[in-house]
Amino acid sequence: MNETEKIDWIEKLPLLKKIIEKQEVLWRNPLNSDSATGIAQSGITAADVKEASDRLKRFAPYIANVFPETAATNGIIESPITAIPKMKEALAATYETAIPGELLLKQDNALPISGSIKARGGIYEVLKHAETLAIEHGLIEQDGDYTRFAEPEFRNLFAKHKIAVGSTGNLGLSIGIMSAKLGFNVTVHMSADAKQWKKDLLREKGVTVVEYADDYSKAVEEGRRQAEADPLCHFVDDENSLDLFLGYAVAGERVAEQLQERGKKVDEDNPLFVYLPCGVGGGPGGVAFGLKLQFGDNVHCFFAEPTHSPCMTIGMMTGLHDEVSVTDFGLDNQTAADGLAVGTPSAFVGKKMEPLLEGCYTVADETMFKLLTMIADTEDIRLEPSALAGMTGPIQAIRNEMPKADAPSAMHLVWGTGGSMVPENEMDIYYGIGKGIGRK
């Protein structure tokens, strides 16, 4: 993008000026439409998501066996929804903004196996690939005993096959751990911002880690290039994968069940607001899609991004999607929220979200750290910085007068996307940074 084009865009979309100045802003999506139309336009159906859900159920007995931490949920990888009333009070006081509705946290930080939202899509895609291979090779049928995936016959088959992925970290953890468990030959291409402990943990599990001095897009591009040259290699394409998207979308039916168990209705008078931290878009996009299937026009989804990496915000505002990078507008894509350090969004997801997303908003790193410490102090919950991007959502929605956001009957569900895998010493450092900012 040249300087003239940039100036034209800023003239057309004045909010871009604030985004360039790294202010925390909310963008309302003018293309947001009725849910039925949006879902129909997506080309993805409820049956597609159900197929993903059924596949996860087939694998549940295997998962329960090989990951004993999932035994309590019978091999279904799911996280709790937790009410966080003390955090709500602290938020409202800090921002001097009343939150009349209920504040809930979706605790994907506590998802078993890899401790982040990536345990949804990432693990699903690996399982689907394993199932496809096993059926092709006559090892199993869909109504067979899936605990057999741990048997040598299966492992020998998978050892001849490769899986590769490019990642800032958490997707690499999910794909790496699941693939290695099944016996695949797996390579994770990691960007410069990926944390050392993630690389160490993967290597410990027998995963090949290739490091790049460059950012996420470069790691993905290199990974894709190397994988394409090898017919036995399956590349998990974070930017374009329908399977990842469907794996995330299964969250919709799970949330519906969980809210029902809590005795919560979602309807016109009881709207659900959901705030999803967004990197390349697959995780939040898939989850939002799954929620739209369940709750239609009564769920209002927002994506949250760092002020230094608002790639989906810029991509959707301009309609340029993956043809624009945050660096085109002078932003550096440097953020401590490593799960969100993405400069160019997924066009696949951005286009599907055009009629379904309420809006996007941005969050400064300082805010994420401050809120990280706040929720540790008030609720004793540890989240990684990226996972706090959702937390200012209720404030943004209420201050920007999103319809019904300030209703006492509104539910605000913040998607806590990760945290339990972060080593304690790293978490102590995060906590300390937030404490320092809080005192200022």
Ligand X SMILES: *Cc1c(COP(=O)(O)O)cnc(C)c1O
Choose which of 101, 166, 252, 279 interacts with ligand X (CB under 6 A).
279
Choose which of 417, 430, 433, 434 interacts with ligand X (CB under 6 A).
417
DSSP for 110-168, written as a single string: G-TTTSBTHHHHHHHHHHHHHHHHHHHTTS--TTS-GGGGGSHHHHHHHHT-EEEEEES
Question: Does position 384 bind ligand X by CB under 6 A?
Answer: yes
Contact between 354 and 37 under an 8 Å Cβ cutoff? The reply is no
Choose which of 26, 99, 278, 360 interacts with ligand X (CB under 6 A).
278
Choose which of 101, 282, 315, 359 interacts with ligand X (CB under 6 A).
282
Contact between 100 and 408 under an 8 Å Cβ cutoff? The reply is yes
Smallest distance from ligand X to CB 323, Å: 18
Contact between 346 and 280 under an 8 Å Cβ cutoff? The reply is yes
Residue from 169, 167, 92, 161 nearest 131 by CA: 161
Question: Does position 277 bind ligand X by CB under 6 A?
Answer: yes
Question: Does position 223 bind ligand X by CB under 6 A?
Answer: no
Residue from 33, 29, 27, 42 nearest 290 by CA: 42
Task: Print the binding letters for residues 158-177 with ligand X: x by CB under 6 A, - otherwise.
Answer: ------------x-------
- C-beta atoms surrounding 323 within 10 Å: 12
Positive or negative: CA dihedral 201, 178, 340, 418:
negative
Smallest distance from ligand X to CB 26, Å: 18
Smallest distance from ligand X to CB 264, Å: 24
Residue from 43, 52, 101, 143 nearest 402 by CA: 101
Smallest distance from ligand X to CB 156, Å: 32
Contact between 392 and 414 under an 8 Å Cβ cutoff? The reply is no
Nearer to ligand X, 53 or 170 (CB): 170
Question: Does position 107 bind ligand X by CB under 6 A?
Answer: no
Question: Does position 313 bind ligand X by CB under 6 A?
Answer: no
Interface positions, 336-365, toward ligand X (CB under 6 A): 339-340
Smallest distance from ligand X to CB 383, Å: 8
Question: Does position 189 bind ligand X by CB under 6 A?
Answer: no
Nearer to ligand X, 170 or 313 (CB): 170
Angle at 377 between CA 375 and CA 378, to 5 degrees: 65
Nearer to ligand X, 122 or 271 (CB): 122
Residues 6+ apart with CB under 8 A from 402: 28, 273, 300, 358, 359
Question: Interacting stretch for ligand X, rule CB under 6 A, among 2-10, 182-190, 274-282, 322-330?
Answer: 274-282
Q: What's the token pair of residue 323?
A: 């043809």
Question: Interacting stretch for ligand X, rule CB under 6 A, among 58-66, 115-123, 179-187, 289-297?
Answer: 115-123
Dist. CA 431–CA 114, nearest whole Å: 21
Contact between 275 and 383 under an 8 Å Cβ cutoff? The reply is no
Task: Print the binding letters for residues 198-217 with ligand X: x by CB under 6 A, - otherwise.
Answer: --------------------
Nearer to ligand X, 116 or 187 (CB): 116
Sheet holding 81-83, edge to edge: 26-28, 359-363, 299-306, 272-277, 411-416, 102-107, 81-83
Question: Does position 418 bind ligand X by CB under 6 A?
Answer: yes
Nearer to ligand X, 294 or 420 (CB): 420
Question: Does position 122 bind ligand X by CB under 6 A?
Answer: no
Enumerate binding residues for ligand X (CB under 6 A): 116-118, 170, 277-284, 339-340, 384, 386-387, 417-418
